[in-house]
Amino acid sequence: MDQRVFLYSVVGLLTAVLARYLATRGQKKYKFPPLVPGIPIMGNALQVPPTQQGQWAKDLADKYGEMFTVKFGASTWVFLNSSRVVTDLMEKRAAIYSSRPPFPMTQDIMSGGGRVVLMPYGDRWRQTRKIMHQILSTRQKDTFRDFQELESRHLLYDYLHHPDRWFSANGRYANSVIMSVVFGIRSKLDDPDVTALFETVEMFLEQQQPGINLVDGFPILAKLPEFLQWWRPRGLKLFEYTRGVYKKQLDNVKARIENGTQKNCFAVDFLKNNDEKYFNETQQLFTLGTLMEAGSDTTRVSVGQLIAGAATYPDWVVRARAQLDEVCGSNADRLPSWEDKDKLPYIAAVVKEVFRWRPNIAEIGAPTSCTKDDEYEGYSFPAGTVFVWNAWAIALNPKEYEQPERFWPERFLNDDLNNGLKGHWAFGPGRRVCVGWNVGEMNVWMATARLLYCFDFIEDKANPIDTMNIPQLTKNKAPFPVIIKVRSPAHAALIERDCLAATNAN
């Protein structure tokens, strides 16, 4: 073995043992929910699947009940497995349950400390979130509506002419909405910049899985001298790549400002009003980049869930269609539009069911740490304990939802129908709730109404969709096979007539 590798391994191991000792030293006075047995030093880190941990965490919830504890290296994670305990802790006690644990690799190195989703609770997070809220809040609904209207026409045109490219078309749709608002430009199908952006999302998500980076499980390793940090060169390479993808967009904006072709957009205001105290260049790039990333991938995946739900449980599609046909005509008279929203409650219920059905954007939630010692129902937790809402286990628990595996929009036809955050945890709980939920929900509503009105989604019986295992990271490939056909020649003619122009508009 190379002497250096040997030295790194010994130092790493000793530091890990020390970290584990320091982390657990004072924990005797605390009382955690049942601990899943693991192995010395690593705890449960080697048991957790590298991606898609939903089923693993659900099996543990079935065994241990509403809460259980696991150790990922020196970090202690408590899984909250029912809506009741998530509400009690992450919502009602949000003042102390809204921070993030340290991520020396994925946040400090790979993101230059600039990814808002991993920032600890504090001034920088507040400042960044405030900026994002200004663009994404319900007050901006009208700005987004126009782009969603235009880009969804492009989406229909892509589905008609390239049905096999449906997943890329979803990605283009979502990306183009957010690019229009943030950078004042639209995206094309197969745009290499869009492909590169989705690659950065997948790289980040891959590295973010628990157990992948030793230093994220043992943050004390980050105190080793830099030359001993064997993960650092890889992290810096990923950082440079990601930064380059974001910087290209910002440089393009600056060039367009220079030559007078830049449209009004968020990036222009952001550059004008930037307070350097809060946003150096890296932070600027990661603020804008996060908007592109988080605003694109989540909608692309959610529209995929819609299609999987339509192909595998076609009974509800008939009922959705009946309502769409009543409002827009049974012979492809016109496309559904924003003005129809109140007349289409079934579509609102479909959107909520998309978010609940197979929550594979955050199957085990997102790690949130508490900032003070706390007690709950006989347990006591030290500050720094990590909590997650066990999204997969909750969404698929028959005590929470009748026939949970079924795609059944009727479950949401109730008084809370128009409260987008009520009834599922797709956007997370408490103060870290997705800052773009309103835009994401509108993206999915528009795509849902128009796609269901115009297309049939048919399961290929030779290649059935395994809805419990739809892969999350697919390197820009469709995550499952499906047959897509336009509903009728009249619907095809409607798309040709009303959507072609949207593919050429500036």
Footprint of ligand HEM (CB under 6 A): 116-117, 129, 132, 136, 178, 290-291, 294-295, 298-299, 302, 361-362, 366, 426-429, 432-437, 439-440, 444
What is the closest distance, in whole angstroms, from the C-beta atom of residue 442 to ligand HEM in the complex?
A: 9
- Write down the least CB distance from residue 37 to ligand HEM, Å: 28
Look at residues 193, 296, 200, 211 and name the one whose alpha carbon lies nearest to residue 239.
200
Q: Which is closer to ligand HEM, CB of 18 or CB of 433?
A: 433
Distances (CA, A) of 312 to 315, 360, 418, 458, 506: 9, 17, 26, 8, 37
Residue closer to ligand HEM by CB (options 16, 306) is 306
Say which DSSP state 104 is in: I
Residue 361 beta carbon to ligand HEM: minimum distance, rounded to whole angstroms? 5
User: Does residue 356 contact residue 401 with C-beta atoms inside 8 Å?
Assistant: yes
If the CB atoms of residues 111 and 299 are measured against ligand HEM, the closer one turns out to be: 299
Q: How near is the Cβ of 130 to ligand HEM at its closest, in Å?
A: 10
Binding-site residues for heme, please?
Answer: 434
Token reading at 224? 């080793």
What's the closest the beta carbon of residue 346 comes to ligand HEM, in angstroms? 19
Nearer to ligand HEM, 54 or 440 (CB): 440
Annotated binding site: 434
CA terminus-to-terminus distance, the chain:
58
The tokens for 368 are: 């949130």
CB 370 within 8 A of CB 99: yes
The letter for the amino acid at 108 is: D
In whole angstroms, the minimum distance from the beta carbon of 326 to ligand HEM comes to 27
Minimum distance from CB of 54 to ligand HEM (Å)? 13
Q: Given the complex with ligand HEM, which of 197 and 444 has the nearer CB atom?
A: 444
* Cβ distance to ligand HEM smaller for residue 200 or 229: 200
Contact 322, 350 (CB under 8 A): no
Q: Which residues contact 81 (CB under 8 A, 6 or more apart)?
A: 61, 64, 65, 66, 67, 68, 390, 393, 394, 397
Task: Estimate to the nearest angstrom the gap between the alpha carbon of 491 and the chain centroid.
Answer: 32
Whole-angstrom Cα distance, residue 265 to residue 294?
A: 18
Q: How far is the CB of 133 from ligand HEM (least distance, A)?
A: 9
Q: Which residue has the tokens 């543990």?
A: 60
Pairing mode, strands 386-389 and 75-80 = parallel
Helical spans, DSSP H, in 260-404: 266-273, 281-312, 315-328, 345-357, 391-395
The H-or-E segment that residue 72 falls in is strand 67-72
